[in-house]
Amino acid sequence: HSADAQRTDLMTITRHVLNEQSKHPEARGDFTILMSNLVLGCKFVCSAVNKAGLAKLIGLAGDTNVQGEEQKKLDVLSNEVFVKALTSSGRTCILVSEEDEEATFVDPSLRGRYCVVFDPLDGSSNIDCGVSIGTIFGIYMVRDKNEASLYDVLQPGNQMLAAGYCLYGSSCMLVLSTGSGVNGFTLDPSLGEFILTHPDIKIPKKGKIYSVNEGNAQNWDEPTSKYVENCKYPKDGSSPKSLRYVGSMVADVHRTLLYGGIFLYPADNKSPDGKLRVLYEVFPMSFLMEQAGGQAFTGKQRALDLVPTKIHQRSPIFLGSYDDVEEIKALYVKEA
Ligand code: AHM
Ligand code: MG
């Protein structure tokens, strides 16, 4: 019976990645190994996040605990876990983390072909009140691992090979795209494996939710103000949209992906580039949105076409359902 098959034939994330790689005859298994190290990092962070209060993992970096050892804040700890797991995979070359000012160039003896950009624990200001947080990542291929340079990661998002995020929420979910659609995996804690639970995710063409920090409204530009006004007081007789804003990008984008709607972190006259970082926030989420049939726009261009010049660069971002993003695009075009 198919019901039995569903219970016994488990599509783990490793099996899924292996299947996808088998479509590329030149694949040597490197990507699969890279992914399994990345997944290990996510499992570690998930476990640490779940017992954050108990294990007294929360606390300021630099604080000392009763044993006199330094306590690490969860975001610092998560960063170390990812850097070590990715470096030791032997498949990476350059790592860019939100937590590290400089890019990490992997020791030549351990170098592989992939560059990984990531935010190890995004939304970490939410940890203390138990709100969902996440890890975001994007993967590029280096041109020549013996001549790796920052240029290899200062590439537009359309050059990414894969992108995804892990949500540490009411369940732990990993959402991944390797460039042929988007798939969602849920961690089965008893198995310690991510199992495919959301195959081929497609974002609804139009949504009923908008997601933005409206406290910044007085500093917004015209198109953003008009757009949000229209969400609340639609001129075409349709119902107003609902507002949902967690303040944790992974949670807000995940809801947008599954339910539809729009997530925006616009420019404002205090932060003309918005808040979110191009390499490890804007690009991976834009990649996923496009792969799921949605769109991502910076206010000027398709987000994935932006060419970053600095690894921690920021950009305004509007992403989500195709039709909703189309609306904000039209407002910016009018303005220009
Ligand atoms: P962080 O990297 O300091 O955690 O900030 C990133 C977070 C995102 O997860 C979220 O979308 C955004 O900041 C919320 O910002 P704001 O509090 O300005 O609304
Ligand atoms: Mg962040």
What confidence tens digit (pLDDT) does each residue in 69-100 have?
A: 555 688 899 999 999 999 999 999 999 999 99
The pLDDT assigned to 3 comes to 56
CA neighbours closer than 13 Å in the CB half-sphere of residue 203: 34
Contact (Cβ atoms closer than 8 angstroms) between residue 172 and residue 158: no
- Indicate which atom in ligand 1 lies nearest the CA of residue 265: 11
What integer is the mean pLDDT of 39-52?
91
Q: What DSSP line would sit under 23-47, residue for residue?
A: TSTT--SHHHHHHHHHHHHHHHHHH
Nearest C-alpha to atom 1 of ligand 1 is from which residue?
123
45 alpha-carbon distance from chain centroid: 15
pLDDT band at 224 (very low <50, low <70, confident <90, very high): very high
pLDDT confidence of residue 129: 86
**In this structure, are strands 92-97 and 104-105 parallel, antiparallel, or unpaired?**
antiparallel
The mean predicted confidence, pLDDT, of the chain is 92
Report the relative pairing of strands 262-265 and 317-320 from DSSP bridges.
Answer: antiparallel
ipTM of the complex model: 0.96
Question: pLDDT tens, 274-295?
Answer: 999 999 999 999 999 999 999 9
CA 44-107-110 angle, to 5 degrees, is 65
Instruction: List the single range of 20-34, 52-66, 179-193, 222-236 with lowest mean pLDDT.
Output: 52-66
Could you give the C-alpha distances from 111 to 87, 147, 192, 274, in angstroms and in order? Answer: 8, 11, 28, 34
Q: pLDDT value at position 58?
A: 52
| pTM for the whole structure | 0.94
* Paired tokens of 155: 């590439």
Burial of 112 (0-12, 13-18, 19+ CB in 10 A): buried
Cα 33-99-299 angle, rounded to 5 deg: 95
Tell me how far apart the alpha carbons of residues 283 and 295 are, in angstroms, rounded to a whole number. 12
Give the nearest ligand 1 atom to 250 CA: 9
The residue ranges of DSSP E strands in the chain, in sequence order, are 92-97, 104-105, 114-122, 133-141, 162-168, 172-177, 183-188, 193-198, 209-211, 242-243, 262-265, 295-297, 317-320
- 3-class DSSP state for residue 138? strand
Which of 117, 121, 125, when mutated, tests ligand 1's pocket best, judged by the most ligand atoms within 8 Å of its CB? Answer: 125
Extract the tokens encoding 111.
Answer: 């170098």
Atom of ligand 1 nearest to the CA of 245: 19
CB under 6 Å to ligand 1: residues?
A: 122-125, 213, 247-249, 252, 275
